Structure 1
Protein backbone atom coordinates (compact mmCIF):
# COMPACT_ATOMS: atom_id res chain seq x y z
CA UNK A 1 0.00 0.00 0.00
CA UNK A 2 1.30 3.43 -0.98
CA UNK A 3 2.15 5.63 2.01
CA UNK A 4 2.31 9.45 2.18
CA UNK A 5 5.73 10.95 1.57
CA UNK A 6 5.24 14.07 3.63
CA UNK A 7 5.36 14.38 7.40
CA UNK A 8 2.68 15.00 8.37
CA UNK A 9 0.37 14.29 5.39
CA UNK A 10 -2.64 16.50 4.77
CA UNK A 11 -6.03 15.64 6.24
CA UNK A 12 -7.88 13.14 4.03
CA UNK A 13 -4.69 12.29 2.10
CA UNK A 14 -5.27 10.20 -1.02
CA UNK A 15 -2.08 10.48 -3.03
CA UNK A 16 1.09 12.48 -3.52
CA UNK A 17 1.20 14.30 -6.83
CA UNK A 18 4.37 14.68 -8.93
CA UNK A 19 7.04 17.05 -7.61
CA UNK A 20 7.32 20.60 -8.97
CA UNK A 21 9.97 19.65 -11.53
CA UNK A 22 8.84 16.10 -12.37
CA UNK A 23 6.97 15.01 -15.54
CA UNK A 24 3.22 15.66 -15.52
CA UNK A 25 0.84 12.85 -14.61
CA UNK A 26 -2.37 14.64 -15.68
CA UNK A 27 -3.50 16.85 -18.54
CA UNK A 28 -2.87 20.55 -17.76
CA UNK A 29 -6.46 21.77 -17.94
CA UNK A 30 -8.51 24.00 -15.67
CA UNK A 31 -12.08 23.08 -16.71
CA UNK A 32 -14.32 25.74 -15.10
CA UNK A 33 -11.42 27.79 -13.76
CA UNK A 34 -9.74 30.68 -15.61
CA UNK A 35 -6.52 32.50 -14.64
CA UNK A 36 -6.82 36.10 -13.54
CA UNK A 37 -3.44 36.65 -15.23
CA UNK A 38 -1.19 34.64 -17.53
CA UNK A 39 1.91 35.79 -19.40
CA UNK A 40 5.55 34.82 -19.70
CA UNK A 41 6.39 36.17 -16.24
CA UNK A 42 3.67 34.97 -13.90
CA UNK A 43 0.44 33.02 -13.60
CA UNK A 44 -2.27 34.10 -11.17
CA UNK A 45 -5.04 31.69 -10.21
CA UNK A 46 -8.18 32.63 -8.26
CA UNK A 47 -9.26 30.82 -5.10
CA UNK A 48 -12.72 31.79 -3.96
CA UNK A 49 -13.16 31.72 -0.17
CA UNK A 50 -16.66 30.28 -0.60
CA UNK A 51 -18.28 28.48 -3.49
CA UNK A 52 -21.28 30.79 -3.21
CA UNK A 53 -21.08 34.31 -1.82
CA UNK A 54 -24.22 36.24 -1.02
CA UNK A 55 -26.38 33.57 0.56
CA UNK A 56 -25.21 33.97 4.14
CA UNK A 57 -25.61 37.75 4.20
CA UNK A 58 -29.28 37.23 3.28
CA UNK A 59 -29.60 34.67 6.08
CA UNK A 60 -27.91 37.12 8.47
CA UNK A 61 -30.48 39.76 7.55
CA UNK A 62 -33.29 37.27 8.17
CA UNK A 63 -31.80 36.30 11.54
CA UNK A 64 -31.54 39.98 12.47
CA UNK A 65 -35.23 40.57 11.68
CA UNK A 66 -36.26 37.48 13.65
CA UNK A 67 -34.18 38.67 16.61
CA UNK A 68 -35.82 42.10 16.56
CA UNK A 69 -39.25 40.50 16.35
CA UNK A 70 -38.40 38.18 19.27
CA UNK A 71 -37.24 41.11 21.41
CA UNK A 72 -40.39 43.09 20.59
CA UNK A 73 -42.59 40.08 21.42
CA UNK A 74 -40.86 39.59 24.78
CA UNK A 75 -41.26 43.24 25.71
CA UNK A 76 -44.95 43.07 24.80
CA UNK A 77 -45.35 39.80 26.74
CA UNK A 78 -43.85 41.28 29.90
CA UNK A 79 -46.07 44.38 29.75
CA UNK A 80 -49.26 42.39 29.04
CA UNK A 81 -48.84 39.48 31.49
CA UNK A 82 -48.27 39.32 35.20
CA UNK A 83 -45.33 37.10 36.07
CA UNK A 84 -44.27 35.91 39.47
CA UNK A 85 -40.76 36.95 40.48
CA UNK A 86 -39.43 33.43 39.84
CA UNK A 87 -41.11 33.15 36.43
CA UNK A 88 -39.91 36.62 35.45
CA UNK A 89 -36.30 35.70 36.30
CA UNK A 90 -36.50 32.50 34.25
CA UNK A 91 -38.21 34.28 31.36
CA UNK A 92 -35.57 37.03 31.41
CA UNK A 93 -32.65 34.57 31.46
CA UNK A 94 -34.10 32.54 28.60
CA UNK A 95 -34.77 35.70 26.59
CA UNK A 96 -31.21 36.95 27.12
CA UNK A 97 -29.76 33.56 26.08
CA UNK A 98 -31.88 33.29 22.93
CA UNK A 99 -31.27 36.92 21.97
CA UNK A 100 -27.52 36.60 22.53
CA UNK A 101 -27.35 33.45 20.39
CA UNK A 102 -29.39 35.09 17.62
CA UNK A 103 -27.21 38.20 17.60
CA UNK A 104 -24.06 36.05 17.58
CA UNK A 105 -25.40 33.99 14.66
CA UNK A 106 -26.30 37.12 12.73
CA UNK A 107 -22.79 38.54 13.16
CA UNK A 108 -21.11 35.22 12.25
CA UNK A 109 -23.06 34.77 9.03
CA UNK A 110 -22.56 38.40 8.05
CA UNK A 111 -18.79 38.35 8.62
CA UNK A 112 -18.31 34.98 6.91
CA UNK A 113 -19.88 36.39 3.76
CA UNK A 114 -18.58 39.95 3.78
CA UNK A 115 -15.22 40.04 5.59
CA UNK A 116 -13.09 37.72 3.36
CA UNK A 117 -11.53 39.47 0.34
CA UNK A 118 -13.17 39.13 -3.06
CA UNK A 119 -10.58 36.50 -3.92
CA UNK A 120 -7.52 34.77 -2.44
CA UNK A 121 -5.23 34.52 -5.49
CA UNK A 122 -2.01 32.57 -5.93
CA UNK A 123 0.79 33.96 -8.08
CA UNK A 124 3.34 31.65 -9.64
CA UNK A 125 6.31 33.65 -10.93
CA UNK A 126 8.12 31.47 -13.46
CA UNK A 127 11.19 33.68 -13.77
CA UNK A 128 11.77 34.04 -10.04
CA UNK A 129 10.64 30.43 -9.38
CA UNK A 130 8.48 31.50 -6.47
CA UNK A 131 4.84 31.32 -5.42
CA UNK A 132 3.05 34.22 -3.70
CA UNK A 133 0.08 33.38 -1.50
CA UNK A 134 -2.74 35.83 -0.69
CA UNK A 135 -4.50 34.43 2.36
CA UNK A 136 -6.98 35.40 5.02
CA UNK A 137 -7.04 34.73 8.77
CA UNK A 138 -10.42 34.39 10.43
CA UNK A 139 -11.93 32.96 13.59
CA UNK A 140 -15.38 31.83 12.44
CA UNK A 141 -16.84 31.44 15.93
CA UNK A 142 -15.69 34.91 17.06
CA UNK A 143 -17.11 37.61 14.77
CA UNK A 144 -15.94 40.33 17.16
CA UNK A 145 -12.20 39.72 16.86
CA UNK A 146 -9.91 41.04 14.12
CA UNK A 147 -9.89 39.13 10.82
CA UNK A 148 -7.07 40.07 8.46
CA UNK A 149 -5.30 39.40 5.15
CA UNK A 150 -2.01 37.49 5.10
CA UNK A 151 0.62 37.29 2.35
CA UNK A 152 3.63 35.03 2.00
CA UNK A 153 6.10 33.81 -0.63
CA UNK A 154 7.83 30.44 -1.01
CA UNK A 155 10.39 28.88 -3.33
CA UNK A 156 8.89 26.77 -6.10
CA UNK A 157 11.32 23.90 -5.47
CA UNK A 158 10.08 23.57 -1.88
CA UNK A 159 6.46 22.89 -2.87
CA UNK A 160 4.77 19.49 -2.77
CA UNK A 161 1.19 18.73 -3.77
CA UNK A 162 -1.22 16.23 -2.23
CA UNK A 163 -4.66 15.17 -3.36
CA UNK A 164 -7.22 14.77 -0.57
CA UNK A 165 -10.80 13.67 -0.04
CA UNK A 166 -12.85 14.25 3.12
CA UNK A 167 -16.21 12.69 3.95
CA UNK A 168 -18.55 14.11 6.58
CA UNK A 169 -22.05 13.19 7.69
CA UNK A 170 -24.98 15.60 7.67
CA UNK A 171 -27.61 15.91 10.39
CA UNK A 172 -30.20 14.07 8.25
CA UNK A 173 -27.91 11.09 7.69
CA UNK A 174 -26.53 12.19 4.33
CA UNK A 175 -22.91 12.27 3.25
CA UNK A 176 -20.87 15.23 2.03
CA UNK A 177 -17.72 14.51 0.04
CA UNK A 178 -15.14 17.22 -0.56
CA UNK A 179 -12.04 16.88 -2.73
CA UNK A 180 -9.12 19.10 -3.48
CA UNK A 181 -5.38 19.63 -3.73
CA UNK A 182 -3.27 20.95 -0.88
CA UNK A 183 0.19 22.42 -1.41
CA UNK A 184 2.75 21.84 1.31
CA UNK A 185 5.91 23.86 1.83
CA UNK A 186 8.70 21.55 3.00
CA UNK A 187 11.98 22.27 4.71
CA UNK A 188 14.64 22.24 1.94
CA UNK A 189 16.06 18.77 1.38
CA UNK A 190 13.43 17.05 3.57
CA UNK A 191 9.80 15.94 3.55
CA UNK A 192 9.04 17.90 6.72
CA UNK A 193 6.04 20.17 6.21
CA UNK A 194 6.41 23.70 7.57
CA UNK A 195 3.36 25.32 5.97
CA UNK A 196 0.30 24.43 3.88
CA UNK A 197 -2.23 26.21 1.69
CA UNK A 198 -5.02 25.09 -0.63
CA UNK A 199 -4.62 25.08 -4.39
CA UNK A 200 -8.10 23.82 -5.22
CA UNK A 201 -11.06 22.73 -3.12
CA UNK A 202 -13.39 21.65 -5.91
CA UNK A 203 -13.77 18.10 -7.13
CA UNK A 204 -13.90 19.33 -10.73
CA UNK A 205 -10.34 20.63 -10.45
CA UNK A 206 -7.95 18.55 -8.42
CA UNK A 207 -4.77 17.08 -9.87
CA UNK A 208 -5.35 18.81 -13.23
CA UNK A 209 -4.83 22.21 -11.60
CA UNK A 210 -1.46 21.15 -10.21
CA UNK A 211 -0.53 19.79 -13.65
CA UNK A 212 -1.50 23.14 -15.17
CA UNK A 213 0.71 25.04 -12.71
CA UNK A 214 3.62 22.62 -13.20
CA UNK A 215 3.34 22.87 -16.99
CA UNK A 216 3.49 26.65 -16.76
CA UNK A 217 6.46 26.68 -14.39
CA UNK A 218 8.35 24.08 -16.43
CA UNK A 219 7.48 25.09 -19.99
CA UNK A 220 5.77 28.46 -19.92
CA UNK A 221 2.32 29.24 -21.28
CA UNK A 222 2.92 27.51 -24.62
CA UNK A 223 0.79 24.41 -24.88
CA UNK A 224 -1.92 25.69 -22.58
CA UNK A 225 -5.39 26.11 -24.01
CA UNK A 226 -5.71 29.76 -25.17
CA UNK A 227 -9.37 29.85 -24.16
CA UNK A 228 -8.30 29.27 -20.56
CA UNK A 229 -5.89 32.19 -20.65
CA UNK A 230 -8.31 35.10 -20.70
CA UNK A 231 -7.00 37.46 -18.00
CA UNK A 232 -9.52 39.34 -15.88
CA UNK A 233 -9.45 41.49 -12.78
CA UNK A 234 -9.98 39.53 -9.57
CA UNK A 235 -11.84 42.54 -8.13
CA UNK A 236 -14.47 42.57 -10.89
CA UNK A 237 -17.56 41.11 -9.23
CA UNK A 238 -21.21 40.95 -10.30
CA UNK A 239 -23.08 44.14 -9.37
CA UNK A 240 -25.99 42.10 -7.97
CA UNK A 241 -23.84 40.20 -5.44
CA UNK A 242 -24.05 42.38 -2.34
CA UNK A 243 -21.61 40.28 -0.30
CA UNK A 244 -18.86 40.53 -2.92
CA UNK A 245 -19.53 44.24 -3.44
CA UNK A 246 -19.05 44.84 0.29
CA UNK A 247 -16.03 42.52 0.55
CA UNK A 248 -12.52 44.07 0.59
CA UNK A 249 -10.73 44.26 -2.74
CA UNK A 250 -7.63 42.18 -3.41
CA UNK A 251 -4.70 44.48 -2.75
CA UNK A 252 -1.21 43.01 -2.63
CA UNK A 253 1.40 44.86 -0.57
CA UNK A 254 3.16 47.26 -2.96
CA UNK A 255 6.60 45.64 -2.64
CA UNK A 256 5.26 42.10 -3.05
CA UNK A 257 3.04 43.15 -5.95
CA UNK A 258 6.03 44.58 -7.79
CA UNK A 259 8.22 41.55 -7.06
CA UNK A 260 5.64 38.90 -7.89
CA UNK A 261 4.72 40.43 -11.24
CA UNK A 262 8.22 41.13 -12.57
CA UNK A 263 11.43 39.39 -13.63
CA UNK A 264 14.45 39.23 -11.31
Structure 2
Protein backbone atom coordinates (compact mmCIF):
# COMPACT_ATOMS: atom_id res chain seq x y z
CA UNK A 1 0.00 0.00 0.00
CA UNK A 2 1.66 3.27 -1.10
CA UNK A 3 1.89 6.17 1.33
CA UNK A 4 -0.83 8.83 1.21
CA UNK A 5 1.67 11.42 -0.04
CA UNK A 6 1.70 9.48 -3.31
CA UNK A 7 -1.73 7.86 -3.37
CA UNK A 8 -4.14 10.39 -1.84
CA UNK A 9 -6.06 12.28 -4.54
CA UNK A 10 -5.41 15.62 -2.80
CA UNK A 11 -1.75 15.05 -1.99
CA UNK A 12 -0.37 13.63 -5.25
CA UNK A 13 -1.24 16.82 -7.23
CA UNK A 14 0.76 19.00 -4.79
CA UNK A 15 3.76 16.68 -4.47
CA UNK A 16 5.88 18.37 -7.15
CA UNK A 17 5.33 21.80 -5.62
CA UNK A 18 7.10 20.71 -2.44
CA UNK A 19 9.68 18.42 -4.08
CA UNK A 20 11.63 21.24 -5.72
CA UNK A 21 13.26 21.45 -9.14
CA UNK A 22 14.71 17.91 -8.96
CA UNK A 23 18.11 18.98 -10.25
CA UNK A 24 19.31 15.65 -8.84
CA UNK A 25 17.72 13.87 -11.79
CA UNK A 26 20.20 15.29 -14.27
CA UNK A 27 22.86 12.96 -12.85
CA UNK A 28 20.64 10.01 -13.82
CA UNK A 29 20.36 11.28 -17.38
CA UNK A 30 24.16 11.43 -17.46
CA UNK A 31 24.36 7.84 -16.22
CA UNK A 32 21.85 6.71 -18.86
CA UNK A 33 24.09 8.37 -21.46
CA UNK A 34 27.18 6.74 -19.98
CA UNK A 35 25.56 3.30 -20.12
CA UNK A 36 24.16 3.96 -23.61
CA UNK A 37 20.73 2.87 -22.45
CA UNK A 38 17.91 3.46 -24.91
CA UNK A 39 15.13 1.50 -23.17
CA UNK A 40 14.65 2.48 -19.53
CA UNK A 41 12.41 1.27 -16.71
CA UNK A 42 11.64 3.89 -14.04
CA UNK A 43 10.68 1.94 -10.89
CA UNK A 44 8.59 3.97 -8.45
CA UNK A 45 8.18 6.66 -11.09
CA UNK A 46 5.79 8.71 -8.94
CA UNK A 47 4.63 11.86 -10.70
CA UNK A 48 6.86 11.08 -13.68
CA UNK A 49 9.61 13.70 -13.40
CA UNK A 50 12.45 11.34 -14.38
CA UNK A 51 10.39 9.38 -16.91
CA UNK A 52 9.52 12.57 -18.81
CA UNK A 53 13.15 13.72 -18.84
CA UNK A 54 14.22 10.33 -20.16
CA UNK A 55 11.56 10.41 -22.87
CA UNK A 56 12.52 13.97 -23.80
CA UNK A 57 16.05 12.67 -24.43
CA UNK A 58 14.70 10.26 -27.05
CA UNK A 59 14.56 7.08 -24.96
CA UNK A 60 11.84 4.46 -24.78
CA UNK A 61 10.50 4.63 -21.23
CA UNK A 62 8.31 2.47 -19.02
CA UNK A 63 7.23 3.96 -15.69
CA UNK A 64 5.78 1.78 -12.94
CA UNK A 65 4.24 2.88 -9.64
CA UNK A 66 1.68 1.42 -7.21
CA UNK A 67 0.12 4.84 -6.49
CA UNK A 68 -2.65 5.51 -8.96
CA UNK A 69 -3.01 9.18 -8.02
CA UNK A 70 0.68 9.83 -8.75
CA UNK A 71 0.39 8.03 -12.09
CA UNK A 72 -2.50 10.30 -13.07
CA UNK A 73 -0.24 13.31 -12.45
CA UNK A 74 2.52 11.63 -14.45
CA UNK A 75 0.22 10.90 -17.37
CA UNK A 76 -0.87 14.56 -17.48
CA UNK A 77 2.78 15.49 -18.23
CA UNK A 78 3.00 12.93 -21.05
CA UNK A 79 0.71 14.74 -23.45
CA UNK A 80 1.81 12.82 -26.53
CA UNK A 81 1.64 9.39 -24.90
CA UNK A 82 5.30 8.56 -25.41
CA UNK A 83 5.67 6.70 -22.10
CA UNK A 84 4.19 3.36 -21.08
CA UNK A 85 2.70 3.72 -17.59
CA UNK A 86 2.16 0.62 -15.44
CA UNK A 87 0.03 0.68 -12.28
CA UNK A 88 1.85 -1.77 -10.03
CA UNK A 89 5.29 -2.49 -8.68
CA UNK A 90 8.49 -4.02 -10.03
CA UNK A 91 7.08 -7.53 -9.67
CA UNK A 92 4.26 -6.73 -12.13
CA UNK A 93 6.56 -5.65 -14.99
CA UNK A 94 7.11 -8.43 -17.54
CA UNK A 95 10.36 -9.18 -19.37
CA UNK A 96 10.51 -5.99 -21.45
CA UNK A 97 14.19 -6.18 -22.35
CA UNK A 98 15.03 -2.95 -20.54
CA UNK A 99 18.63 -1.87 -20.88
CA UNK A 100 18.48 0.12 -17.67
CA UNK A 101 16.25 0.27 -14.58
CA UNK A 102 16.37 3.19 -12.17
CA UNK A 103 15.10 3.99 -8.68
CA UNK A 104 15.54 7.60 -7.59
CA UNK A 105 14.80 9.50 -4.40
CA UNK A 106 13.70 7.27 -1.53
CA UNK A 107 12.30 4.48 -3.72
CA UNK A 108 14.95 1.88 -2.82
CA UNK A 109 14.33 2.50 0.89
CA UNK A 110 10.57 1.97 0.99
CA UNK A 111 10.99 -1.82 0.96
CA UNK A 112 11.04 -2.51 4.69
CA UNK A 113 11.40 -6.28 4.75
CA UNK A 114 14.14 -8.46 3.29
CA UNK A 115 11.49 -10.35 1.34
CA UNK A 116 10.02 -7.19 -0.16
CA UNK A 117 13.45 -5.98 -1.23
CA UNK A 118 14.32 -9.41 -2.66
CA UNK A 119 11.13 -9.59 -4.70
CA UNK A 120 11.75 -6.08 -6.04
CA UNK A 121 15.28 -6.94 -7.14
CA UNK A 122 14.02 -10.13 -8.77
CA UNK A 123 11.20 -8.29 -10.53
CA UNK A 124 13.65 -5.77 -11.96
CA UNK A 125 15.96 -8.63 -12.93
CA UNK A 126 13.13 -10.13 -15.00
CA UNK A 127 12.41 -6.80 -16.71
CA UNK A 128 16.06 -6.25 -17.69
CA UNK A 129 17.74 -7.82 -20.68
CA UNK A 130 20.84 -9.94 -19.95
CA UNK A 131 23.63 -7.48 -19.19
CA UNK A 132 21.13 -4.71 -18.41
CA UNK A 133 21.85 -2.23 -15.63
CA UNK A 134 20.20 -1.30 -12.35
CA UNK A 135 20.96 2.14 -10.89
CA UNK A 136 19.58 3.48 -7.61
CA UNK A 137 20.47 5.62 -4.62
CA UNK A 138 20.24 5.09 -0.88
CA UNK A 139 20.91 7.41 2.04
CA UNK A 140 24.00 6.54 4.06
CA UNK A 141 22.82 5.42 7.52
CA UNK A 142 25.87 6.85 9.26
CA UNK A 143 24.84 10.37 8.20
CA UNK A 144 21.67 10.04 10.32
CA UNK A 145 19.52 12.12 7.97
CA UNK A 146 16.52 11.85 10.31
CA UNK A 147 18.29 14.11 12.82
CA UNK A 148 18.45 16.86 10.19
CA UNK A 149 14.79 16.28 9.35
CA UNK A 150 13.86 16.81 13.00
CA UNK A 151 15.84 20.04 13.21
CA UNK A 152 14.57 21.41 9.88
CA UNK A 153 10.90 20.71 10.51
CA UNK A 154 9.64 24.26 10.00
CA UNK A 155 6.33 24.74 8.23
CA UNK A 156 6.56 25.31 4.46
CA UNK A 157 3.86 26.99 2.37
CA UNK A 158 3.55 26.66 -1.39
CA UNK A 159 1.09 28.25 -3.81
CA UNK A 160 -0.03 25.43 -6.11
CA UNK A 161 -1.68 26.44 -9.40
CA UNK A 162 -5.31 25.42 -9.53
CA UNK A 163 -5.31 24.44 -5.85
CA UNK A 164 -4.16 27.47 -3.86
CA UNK A 165 -1.87 27.81 -0.87
CA UNK A 166 -0.91 24.61 0.94
CA UNK A 167 1.04 24.31 4.19
CA UNK A 168 3.24 21.32 4.98
CA UNK A 169 4.88 20.29 8.22
CA UNK A 170 7.27 17.37 8.80
CA UNK A 171 7.56 15.37 12.02
CA UNK A 172 9.90 12.45 12.73
CA UNK A 173 7.66 10.02 14.60
CA UNK A 174 9.91 7.04 15.35
CA UNK A 175 13.53 5.96 15.03
CA UNK A 176 13.93 2.20 15.48
CA UNK A 177 16.91 1.49 13.27
CA UNK A 178 17.13 0.39 10.59
CA UNK A 179 13.60 1.86 10.27
CA UNK A 180 12.80 5.56 10.50
CA UNK A 181 9.21 6.83 10.40
CA UNK A 182 7.96 10.35 9.73
CA UNK A 183 4.70 12.18 9.08
CA UNK A 184 3.81 14.98 6.70
CA UNK A 185 0.79 17.09 7.60
CA UNK A 186 -0.77 19.18 4.85
CA UNK A 187 -3.30 21.97 5.33
CA UNK A 188 -5.16 23.29 2.30
CA UNK A 189 -5.85 26.95 3.02
CA UNK A 190 -8.64 27.22 0.45
CA UNK A 191 -10.97 25.04 2.51
CA UNK A 192 -9.02 24.27 5.70
CA UNK A 193 -8.77 20.54 4.96
CA UNK A 194 -5.95 18.71 6.76
CA UNK A 195 -4.47 15.51 5.33
CA UNK A 196 -1.61 13.51 6.86
CA UNK A 197 0.77 11.00 5.32
CA UNK A 198 2.87 8.54 7.34
CA UNK A 199 6.01 7.01 5.83
CA UNK A 200 8.76 4.62 6.92
CA UNK A 201 12.15 4.12 5.29
CA UNK A 202 14.71 1.39 5.83
CA UNK A 203 18.34 2.47 6.07
CA UNK A 204 20.48 -0.38 4.71
CA UNK A 205 24.27 -0.30 4.91
CA UNK A 206 26.42 -0.38 1.79
CA UNK A 207 27.56 -3.94 2.60
CA UNK A 208 23.97 -5.07 3.09
CA UNK A 209 22.91 -3.65 -0.26
CA UNK A 210 25.87 -5.11 -2.12
CA UNK A 211 25.26 -8.54 -0.60
CA UNK A 212 21.59 -8.44 -1.59
CA UNK A 213 22.43 -7.47 -5.16
CA UNK A 214 24.86 -10.33 -5.61
CA UNK A 215 22.41 -12.79 -4.04
CA UNK A 216 19.75 -11.79 -6.56
CA UNK A 217 21.74 -12.13 -9.75
CA UNK A 218 23.54 -8.81 -10.10
CA UNK A 219 27.17 -7.77 -10.37
CA UNK A 220 28.06 -4.53 -8.58
CA UNK A 221 30.02 -2.36 -11.02
CA UNK A 222 30.36 0.87 -9.07
CA UNK A 223 29.22 2.67 -5.92
CA UNK A 224 29.39 6.44 -6.29
CA UNK A 225 28.63 9.56 -4.34
CA UNK A 226 25.42 11.35 -5.27
CA UNK A 227 26.83 14.43 -7.04
CA UNK A 228 24.23 16.79 -5.58
CA UNK A 229 24.55 15.37 -2.03
CA UNK A 230 28.19 14.32 -1.54
CA UNK A 231 28.80 12.27 1.58
CA UNK A 232 25.08 11.75 2.16
CA UNK A 233 24.08 9.07 -0.32
CA UNK A 234 25.44 6.21 -2.38
CA UNK A 235 24.53 5.60 -6.00
CA UNK A 236 24.77 1.93 -6.94
CA UNK A 237 25.40 0.80 -10.49
CA UNK A 238 24.84 -2.93 -10.96
CA UNK A 239 24.57 -5.25 -13.94
CA UNK A 240 22.26 -8.20 -14.44
CA UNK A 241 24.80 -11.01 -14.25
CA UNK A 242 22.63 -14.09 -14.79
TM-score normalised by L of structure 2: 0.24
Higher strand content, 1 or 2 = 2
- Higher RCO structure, 1 or 2 (CA under 8 Å, sep 6+): 1
